[in-house]
Amino acid sequence: MTETLAEATPGLTRGDDGLLRCAWGTSAPDYVAYHDEEWGRPVHGETALYERFTLEAFQSGLSWLTILRKREGFRAAFAGFDAEQVARFSEADVERLLLDASIVRNRKKIEVAISNARAVLELRESVEGGLDGLVWSFAPPAKPAPRPGEVPATTPESKALAKALKAHGFRFVGPTTAYAAMQACGLVDDHVMGCHVRS
């Protein structure tokens, strides 16, 4: 009996629709949509990038599925990720958000989201292209599709991006978080070899 590609290649899973995906991309309907329509596709613009980096910071220590399912709650709580509005949040806003069950209620992460919004505004003055210009300056050259098991957790570029963001006042952006954001925002395409999105 001949093995299917999914059976022969750990790291790939065939979905109910018959399409091969990165193994993580079929474990829940939310993941299927995110995997197929967003992850690894280029994201530009201050608001969109600020949202992705904020959500990556909130995800630390949690399942990404938890964040995806609360995404609309985060958007409402953080003024659509408008950095100018979030930068004006006060201690009263922090207390309000700590009571908001539609988001992850973690004081440190909420405070980081606010301070990072202020850093986003400062980038407008100090870096050409602001947050978008800074982040995308660390995009590596395109590479062939990785094989399952070859997707890294960090890269030299993610370490350099994390260092640059920290130098500009960002918090909660270590090399692993930075690389996850690079994957999410399409700076790298880590859909593995055989994944229908990659092909």
> One of 31, 34, 136, 179 is an active-site residue; which one?
34
Q: What is the pTM of this model?
A: 0.92
Q: Respond yes or no: is residue 95 known to be catalytic.
A: no
Beta bridge partners of 13: 21
Using the predicted structure, report yes or no on whether residue 146 has a pLDDT greater than 80: yes
> One of 64, 84, 111, 122 is an active-site residue; which one?
64
Q: Respond yes or no: is residue 39 known to be catalytic.
A: no
> One of 56, 136, 157, 179 is an active-site residue; which one?
56
Q: How far apart are CA 71 and CA 74, in angstroms?
A: 5
Q: Tokens representing 155?
A: 């890269």
**CATH, domain range 46-184:** 1.10.340.30
148-194 residue pLDDT tens: 889 999 999 999 999 999 999 999 999 999 999 999 999 999 999 99
Position 139 confidence tier, pLDDT thresholds 50, 70, 90: very high
50-105 residue pLDDT tens: 999 999 999 999 999 999 999 999 999 999 999 999 999 999 999 999 999 999 99
Using the predicted structure, report yes or no on whether residue 37 has a pLDDT greater than 50: yes
All structural domains of the chain with their residue ranges: 46-184
Which among 197, 193, 160 is positioned nearest to 178, based on CA atoms? 160
Q: Respond yes or no: is residue 128 known to be catalytic.
A: no
Using the predicted structure, report yes or no on whether residue 10 has a pLDDT greater than 80: no
Position 9 confidence tier, pLDDT thresholds 50, 70, 90: low
**For position 3, what pLDDT does the model report?**
39
Please say whether the dihedral angle defined by the alpha carbons of residues 161, 53, 111 and 69, taken in this order, is positive or negative: negative
**For position 191, what pLDDT does the model report?**
97
